[in-house]
């Protein structure tokens, strides 16, 4: 039995929701790295009998993809941070201009969550006395300080995740025999995606079979369409 005073922090840390943000970013980045570079390599391999164009295209796709992921994540998270900062500044102004209205709004929020009207007002007053801005940021704006956006951290994590996924098909293009390159790229990519899906499901506490089937299905479609494009163009590189 968990002792409330001693083990509550460790107990709560076991909940899967605490892993959702970093798990989503890591799985998305690694999945894109595997799928994008594998699809690109397959597309070039179907139109070329030489190894060097395939390796070069895969390496270029890996570098470009990692930088694109990092830049995109940085811009996206920076925009989120700007919105959060603007809302917090506005909330500060509202607390200065109309504190009673803000107090009533906070009480209404707690009342809608199931507290009695008198209890909700008592809670709102006590939290306002302790730290009014923190209470409104958390409960009115829905911004949790523990999950605040960090653009640089998000960019580095996304770029690293993409690279870790993309380097796997790059190794295949370097060492696999050219006569079976497309098939080995597909086979290894699916294998890597299945491992990623299983790892993500295990870490997130979700259904492993469902995750593997989902990631294998969409991976096959993406690589299949890219291979088809290579065959249709029929360009000898």
Mark 181-220 as b/e (b = at least 16 C-beta within 10 Å).
Answer: bbebbbebbbebbbebbebbbeebeeeeeebbeebbeebe
Residue 237 binned pLDDT confidence (cut-offs 50, 70, 90): very low
Which of 117-121, 212-216, 230-234 holds the top average pLDDT? 117-121
The per-residue pLDDT for range 95-108, each reduced to its tens digit, is 898 988 988 888 99
The per-residue pLDDT for range 151-205, each reduced to its tens digit, is 888 888 889 999 999 999 999 999 999 888 888 998 898 898 888 878 777 766 6
The per-residue pLDDT for range 59-85, each reduced to its tens digit, is 999 999 999 988 988 898 888 888 888
The answer on pLDDT for 215 being more than 70 is yes
**More reliable by pLDDT, 153 or 116:** 116
**More reliable by pLDDT, 22 or 54:** 54
Give pairs for 48-53: CB < 8 Å, separation 24+.
48/236, 48/237, 49/178, 49/236, 50/178, 50/237, 51/173, 51/174, 51/178, 51/181, 53/237
**CA 12 remoteness from chain centre:** 22
Question: Average model confidence (pLDDT) for the chain?
Answer: 81
């Amino acid at each position: 039995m968990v002792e409330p005073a001693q083990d509550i922090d460790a107990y709560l840390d076991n909940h899967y929701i605490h892993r959702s943000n970093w798990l989503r970013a890591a799985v998305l980045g690694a999945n894109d790295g595997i799928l994008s570079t594998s699809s690109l390599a397959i597309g070039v391999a179907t139109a070329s009998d030489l190894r060097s164009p395939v390796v070069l295209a895969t390496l270029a796709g890996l570098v470009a993809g990692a930088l694109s992921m990092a830049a995109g994540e940085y811009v996206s998270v920076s925009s989120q941070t700007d919105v959060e900062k603007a809302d917090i500044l506005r909330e500060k102004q509202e607390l200065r201009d109309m504190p009673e209205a803000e107090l009533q709004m906070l009480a209404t929020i707690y009342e809608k969550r199931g507290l009695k009207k008198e209890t909700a007002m008592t809670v709102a007053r006590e939290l306002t006395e302790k730290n009014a801005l923190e209470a409104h940021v958390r409960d009115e704006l829905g911004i949790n300080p523990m999950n605040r956006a960090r653009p640089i951290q998000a960019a580095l994590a996304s770029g690293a995740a993409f690279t870790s996924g993309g380097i796997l098909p790059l190794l295949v293009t370097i060492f696999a025999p050219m006569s079976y390159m497309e098939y080995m790229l597909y086979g290894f990519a699916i294998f890597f995606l299945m491992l990623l899906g299983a790892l993500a499901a295990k870490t997130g506490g979700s259904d492993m079979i469902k995750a593997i089937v989902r990631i294998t299905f969409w991976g096959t479609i993406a690589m299949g369409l890219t291979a088809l494009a290579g065959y249709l163009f029929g360009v000898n590189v």
